[in-house]
Chain A
Amino acid sequence: MIELTHSPIDTNRLLQAVSDPECGGQVLFLGTTRQFTQHPDRDQPVETDHLHYEAYEEMAIEQLTALELQAMKQWPVKKVAIVHRLGRVDPSESSVGVAVSSPHRSEAFFAAKWLIDTLKHEVPIWKQEHYVQDGAEWIHPTSGSCHCDDAGKKQPVENSAIENDPNLSNAGQAGSKSHLISDAKLEAVDSSDPHCDPQA
C-alpha cells in the first residue's frame, strides 16, 4: 500500500495492510513533527508551529512503489505499506508511516529502516517549517546533514547498564554479547548505503 494523503495517518490501517499469516513480525515506523528543532543559522532550537508538506505527487508515488518492490527483493519481507502526509502537519502528529511485515523480525527492522532512510533522500517530497516566532522556510538539506546513521555511530553505552542490572543481564544471558557484535556488523553493512554519508 502506497499513499499520499491530506488526512491524519491511520496506523491501524497501515498495520492491517501488512498483516500476513506467514509473518511473525511487523515493524511500524512513524515520523512525527518535532516541536523544537535545531536550525543551522541559529544558536537556539527553534519552535515549530507546524509543517507543510508538498510533493511531486505522481513521481513520489512511482518512487515509493519502486522502493516497496526493492525492499521485497532485498529482504524476505512479505508486505510493505508507506503513507506520507501532504499539507499541514502539527507537532507530534505523524507525517510519514512505514510498515513492514516479515516471517522473522530482523528483516522487518532492516527493511523499515532502509525504506525510511531512502525515502528521506530520494522521494520528491518537501517540508516547509512554519515557526512560532517568525516566518516559514522550505527545507532543502545540504549533503552530509542526514541522521540515517546516528545510532550506528554511538557505542551502546547502555550495555553496561544492562549488564549491571540483574534483571536485564539475567534475561540476556551469555548470548547478549554475540548479538551485539552481529548487530554492529549488520549496521556497518547498512551504513554503506550510498545515499548516506557515514561521516555526517
Chain B
Amino acid sequence: MSVTQIQVSVLLFARAAEIAGARQLSITIQDGSTIAQVADKLVNLHPSLDSLVGVSRWALKNATKKNEFVDAQHPITDADEIAMIPPVSGG
C-alpha cells in the first residue's frame, strides 16, 4: 500500500524565523500526521529550534478554518498552513 504524502506550510516568527533563516518552510509529510510530527520534522531540519518548539503553541489555517490555536495532537491535512507561535511578547 502506498503512503500518501501531503505538503503543509509552516510559518515562523521572531527567534524561530531567525534560527531557521526563513519565515516560511514547506514540509512534506505523511498523510494523517499530527502537528507534533510536523514539529519533529522542523527540529530535524533545524536542530536549534528544539527548545523553542518545546514551548511554542501552534495555530492552523486552511480553506475552511480561520487561524486558531490547536494542540499538538491535531491532525493535519494537505495545504494546511501551520504557524509556530513561540511565547509572545507584545505590549
Interface, chain A (partner B; CB < 8 A): 31, 53-56, 58-60, 62, 84, 95-96, 116, 119-128, 138-143
Contacts and interface: CB of A to CB of B under 8 A. Distances in A.
For chain A, what secondary structure do more than half of its interface residues adopt (helix, strand, loop), or is it mixed? mixed
Given A59-B67, A126-B13, A84 B18 contact: no
Given A56-B83, A120-B88, A125-B89, A140 B67 contact: no
A92 B66 CA distance: 36
A125 B91 CA distance: 8
A53 B90 CA distance: 7
13 contacts: A56-B59, A84-B91, A96-B90, A121-B88, A124-B13, A124-B88, A125-B91, A126-B86, A127-B89, A138-B14, A140-B15, A141-B87, A142-B87
Interface residues of B, number: 19
Nearest to A120: B91
A55 B88 CA distance: 9
Interface of B: 11, 13-15, 18, 52, 55, 59, 61, 66-67, 83, 85-91
Contacts of B90: 53, 55, 60, 84, 95-96, 119-120, 123-127
B60 to A, nearest CB: 10
B63 to A, nearest CB: 15
A89 B13 CA distance: 18
Nearest to B91: A120
A102 to B, nearest CB: 22
6 cross-chain pairs, A with B, having the tightest CB-CB distances, nearest first? A125-B90, A126-B14, A138-B15, A139-B89, A120-B91, A59-B67
Given A138-B18, A140-B15, A125 B67 contact: no
A142 B55 CA distance: 8
Nearest to B18: A138
A62 B66 contact: yes
A56 B57 CA distance: 13
Contacts of B67: 56, 58-59, 62
Given A56-B59, A59-B59, A140 B91 contact: no
Nearest to A125: B90
A117 to B, nearest CB: 9
Contacts of A128: 14
A28 to B, nearest CB: 15
A124 B91 contact: no
Given A56-B13, A56-B59, A125 B88 contact: yes
B83 A141 contact: no
Contact of B87 (A53, A119, A140): A140
B85 A140 contact: no
